[in-house]
Structure 1
């Protein structure tokens, strides 16, 4: 079993790799090699030192021969240019997202046509494939049957890739699976160029004792998923058998991963409740029309029925999301915020 993860040293790539290395199996089959492909490699990461791991560094389209030098059984495609990046640089988005994905699909197709295994291709799409077109507004609750009408270049590029994967799967070239990710919050590390990045920044930076700016109105509703639930969803879709019934992947339709719907105001109120006034007061509201135009076009309420069949659930509350972050990344939290955020210990029983 040889598994390739593109974007293997990105945030989600590392998380997915770590989860696979914990079990060292995929659908009960031992993993022989786990290939992490990325333009930027963190050579000193613990994952990189694991004896199962191979590293391929560079642009995907330049390193396809290395990725497919041996048969690829599973390809988890997480590499992507992000939303605001694609809006600022159209050519970058098309090259990284559309051209790179098609090149991977062509390499997987060539493997299959040559008599090799039919690769199981797992693609991370996005809630950004949806948008509220003035001529066709989104329904109050969105499901996989809702017509995607993206309102950003990033969302359009993701939708193009979804359709390519569907057709390559229909033709038998690959076994494609598409997960539509909600905005992942709270992400650790430095801010990225995603339009939705502030949905992590307004929690992560204050907990680190740093100021943060919220570029949207507080009453804006958003659909979120914690890193834990997102990784769980990617791997559940990757491992699911096709067919009808609980735990099975029904057809080739994308799966919207479960969404927790909250307002930005509720997120900030949770931060205040969990970490205290001094931390929450580090957030400043300063609306940015460009950011709000992108994020505000995405749906916030989802029918999670398709994910339910796979046994996937949304985070129970935003407070649970914040506490997961505190548990997983205590080294990125200032002492005072961490002390305030710890739940009180129950009084001893006499």
Structure 2
């Protein structure tokens, strides 16, 4: 985030890609039309019915639909994940995660006194169901925490058959599944990929998401469709942060109801796909020939594997000094793997400045 450093690290979209003017107008209109929203208590009536209704309607095409009674509106997807973990684990428990795993998830586990069990993950098909099966046979895993649709950092999408098998495994072993679907709407496929939640028959899967990657990170609106854990999660929400901002809940509900969201997303998905491809081409031009890249199926991050002798953690300070940001691969592992890897943000239009930053990065890692 430092001035003068090309924004290739944090997975944030460019402001120019977001419908900020439309959201600003809605904030003004909601404040005038619903002044009572600032009058209520912060620990009762936490979930705006209008927003829950829109979330249920959106789930019809890919999950069944979900029941309105399952939803808890949160202050972000991150809060949703934390609430789920608190609801189904105790300090000292083991949680299965993808490897590489989104580093914020690993930080959540560490903060809650939980242990991460890294499960091998394919850059195309996602977490290995066979490895998860083996890891959970002795009943020592309390939960599974993963990003099955356009995973961060690999961009993989788990096939439906794998999702079905994971949901069945969860039911057979009473394994809680916490599913981060924040990139589900940012797929590059012909149809939106279904979440694991769509195959859940027992209520073991908690579906978490937010609108920070497609509307605005500043909204701080997320949700969890909590299945049979709804009461526990609602209690955790009540005692930790109370109700999510009711004005913003109403703004988001009206934006979704207007149809503007789907129109916006059609263009945004194409834009992100172009930007990811532009970054892949740039990395291929400027980084060593032995570099390997993912081919993301959604989202807007790119995972880069450099020659084994490159240490991206050790290189990081030099890169920042050269005006290039990235996330070192080591942060995506609880056991210190992936030191020769890094993640790049593709959420910005691929400008000459970004191209030059990738060139400078290539010069730093060149043998």
Tell me, yes or no, whether TM beats 0.5: no
Report TM bin, short chain: 0.3 to 0.5
Calculate the TM-score normalised by the size of structure 2: 0.31
Greater relative CO, 1 or 2 (CA 8 Å, sep 6+): 2
Calculate the TM-score normalised by the size of structure 1: 0.33
- The structure carrying a bigger helix percent of its residues is 2
